[in-house]
Amino acid sequence: MSGYWLLSSPDTAKNDYVFREDGSSGELVSRQEFRQSTCRKCGKIDEIASLSLLEDHQFQFPSRDLFFSIDWQLIIGESVKEIFELSAGAELEFVPIAANAIKRYIVVPKVLIPVEDPSAYTITSRCGACGRFYEAIWGSSIPNVPAFDNIAAFKMENRIGLHFAWILTDAYAKWLKKVKPRIRGLEFVRF
Ligand SMILES: [Zn+2]
């Protein structure tokens, strides 16, 4: 089926990682809060299980209503959460975080789209310690998307870790466009 990718223009002037920070010699390392749960071999964190550890962390994020962190986590403000809760509450989970004393939420999908065609993904070997793929990125063909309600996501992996590629149905994108003036940062592109 066709639909839309959910996007947001990058805002590099003021943004932050969710799960990583700069180490003492400039390299990217897991946040202090996650050191216990970092895989010693590949350096990845169990991101979803670690989300509750972020509640007291003060992030430096853009002021927009919707954006992606540098490590591609979808972040929204209170007004967008209300819209999503009303319209797609069954498909999404919202994890509260603090940013510049403003309450924000990391969005976690409850609906993951499986890709049956293996050429839609390029998958590397798995880490021998934690079992995760080093990378699961797009392959040579466009994924064939099965039917879904409102909003769903693909689970992707890169060397930094987990992120989601978000998709919307035509009907849901059309509905959101009607309320788009209230969502600063929301963009779509057709697939
Ligand atoms: Zn590992």
Ligand 1 centroid to 45 CA: how many Å? 8
In the reported structure, the alpha carbon of residue 18 is separated from the centroid of ligand 1 by a whole-number distance in angstroms of 19
pLDDT of 12 reads 66
Would you state the pLDDT for residue 180? 73
Q: Report pLDDT for 109.
A: 97
Q: What is the predicted pLDDT for the residue at 19?
A: 92
CA of 123 to the centre of ligand 1 (A): 15
Query: Which pLDDT does position 131 carry in this prediction?
Result: 93
Alpha carbon distance 66, 153 (integer Å) = 16
Nearest CA to 156 out of 180, 136, 176 is that of: 136
Q: How far is ligand 1, taken at its centre, from the CA of residue 134, in Å?
A: 8
Which residue(s) pair with 121 in the sheet? 138
Of 184, 185, 154, 183, whose CA–CA distance to 168 is shortest? 154
Cα–ligand 1 centroid distance for 82 (angstroms): 36
DSSP string covering 82-133: HHHHHHHTTTEEEEEEEETTEEEEEEEES-B-----GGGEEE-PBPTTT--B
Question: Which is nearest to 154 in space by CA: 66, 74, 37?
Answer: 74
Reference 50, options 89, 97, 110; nearest CA is 97
Phi, psi of 147 (to 5 degrees): -60, 145
Report how far ligand 1's centroid is from the alpha carbon of 162 (Å). Answer: 12
Distance of CA 19 to the CA centre of its chain: 11
Angle, CA 100 vertex, CA 11 and CA 96 arms, to 5°: 90
Between the CA of 126 and the centroid of ligand 1 the distance, in Å, is 8
Report how far residue 160's alpha carbon sits from residue 29's, in angstroms, rounded to the nearest whole number: 9
Q: pLDDT 10s digit of each residue in the chain, 191 long? A: 889 999 988 766 789 999 998 888 988 888 888 888 899 999 899 998 888 888 788 888 888 899 999 999 999 999 999 999 999 999 999 999 876 678 899 999 999 998 778 888 899 999 999 999 999 999 988 888 899 999 999 999 988 899 999 999 999 999 998 887 778 899 999 98
Give 186: exposed, middle or buried? Use CB within 10 Å, 0-12, 13-18, 19+.
buried
End-to-end CA gap in the chain: 9
Q: What is the reported pLDDT for 168?
A: 96
- Predicted local distance difference test score (pLDDT) of residue 144: 85
Residue 128 Cα to ligand 1 middle (Å): 7
